[in-house]
Amino acid sequence: MSENPTGADRPIITTVESPEPCRRVIRAEVARSVYDREYADRLKKAARTHQRPGFRKGHTPKAVVEREVGDLLRMEAIEAIVPKAWVSALLEHKLSPVTDPALGNLEFKDEGPLTFDLTVEVRPEITLGDLSGLSVRRRQVAVADDDVERVIERLREARAGWETVDREGRQGDQVTLDLVPGDDAGAFDESRLIADQRFVLGAEHNLPEFNERLDGSAAGNERIVEVSYPADHSNPALAGRAVKFRCLVKSVAQKQLPEVDDAFAAACGPVQDVAGLRADIRKDLEKDAARRVRQELDVQLQAELLKRHEVPLPASMVDKYLDSGLEELHQRNLRLGRPDSREQDAEYREQGRPHAERALRGLLLLEAVRRQEGIKADKEEVDERIAEIAAENGFEVDRYREFVDSGEERERIEFDLLERRTYDFLLSRAAVRDVPADTDVLSETEL
């Protein structure tokens, strides 16, 4: 417990107790003179506006005003004093609250001071131990020729065309068809025809019934496809229903992949030939691989920090973290047309609590490292990072800067910059062991 020296010249005296690592109880003692002034001011104002039969407005005797509204004025005076005591305690004891204070144990007798308690949760006070020698494994950055070729194949797929063929459709072909959904009685209403629908046979996003029934169909064929929708389907009009579709196949087309030549390379990016395309792809893959290695190092560094430090957490901080995640879950449900449920919320809180606690402990530890080591980022450095991001993404710098300054994006960029510098500082003092590129460095890391 930390105490302040008391004295008759101090109108508000506060002491702080720490019954738990993240809970503080402020004991406040407010001089009677402070209350008397607050009460007198309110009584004076009330007397000026008080209206009572037999007296002109503003001329009602104070004794009468006090008898009629005194209890209310006393409560208002106390309510005005409590925030002053709270601010006084904040300044004097340098508290870092994460909740609003809860008032308790209020005592106010006919004579003497006003006393009460204010209970609040605070950010944990973290004393860092040794930060050197954090054990991490760093994978080599390596890009195989096969990795480059896989990207080229994806580029070919993205630029593929379709050529109509006179044969039955098979996996990977595109069929164009008209389909008519049936009603509950199985009748097909041509007015509901959906024309020129395209299906790539075997595609994962297709309903499996369409993949099965349309496989082997040719132009001119008619197929009936019956789909049984699950009871929890996102579209309430289809949930739990079995719907038949009459499908008239109009054409079958096979995929035509472009040749990997210089023209193809030039169409894929600012390069002159295939060799340039492969070099460009390799450079991007190496950059991505380096980014993943850096992320893996960050995860290991934080895990090692957590092993070395106990970080108590206020319950309210964890609850707020989970509340934020629940809000995102509800927004996602809204976009997908799914209802929220108390059961889902309760399950989210239960399963998400360990992750929330670990994430918050990690954030608080990194913050403590920044504070201890004086890791900062001034406005000019943040501006430089904003310009870098604009250049990396092909944004016009001034327009991007205007966007950043219009909301909270600058704060996020500054936070990311500080976090990066903190991890870099820890890495500079870590015990780093280089391992082959295919090593699973996180397999032994407690996540």
Write the DSSP symbol of residue 25: E
In 3D, which of 94, 89, 91, 108 has the Cα closest to residue 25?
Answer: 89
Q: Is the predicted pLDDT of residue 2 greater than 50, yes or no? A: no
What pLDDT, in 10s, does the model give residues 216-242?
A: 999 999 999 998 888 877 777 788 888
Name the residue with tokens 């920090």. Answer: 305
Name the average pLDDT for the chain: 90
Question: Regarding predicted confidence, which is higher, 334 or 253?
Answer: 253
Domains and CATH numbers, the chain: 12-121 (3.30.70.1050), 161-256 (3.10.50.40), 273-435 (1.10.3120.10)
Lowest mean pLDDT among 71-80, 249-258, 345-354: 71-80
Confidence of residue 57 (pLDDT cuts 50, 70, 90): low
Lowest mean pLDDT among 79-88, 198-207, 438-447: 438-447
Q: Is the predicted pLDDT of residue 1 greater than 70, yes or no? A: no
Question: Regarding predicted confidence, which is higher, 228 or 433?
Answer: 433
Single pTM value for the model: 0.75
Provide mean pLDDT across the span 356-380. Answer: 95
Q: Count CB neighbours of 50 within 10 A.
A: 19
Contacts of 372 (CB under 8 A, 6+ apart): 128
Long-range contact pairs involving 6-11 (C-beta distance under 8 Å, separation at least 24): none
Q: Is the predicted pLDDT of residue 75 greater than 50, yes or no? A: yes
Predicted pLDDT at 5: 47
Predicted pLDDT at 219: 95
What pLDDT, in 10s, does the model give residues 169-192?
A: 999 999 999 999 888 777 888 888
Contacts of 255 (CB under 8 A, 6+ apart): 160, 161, 162, 172, 173, 174
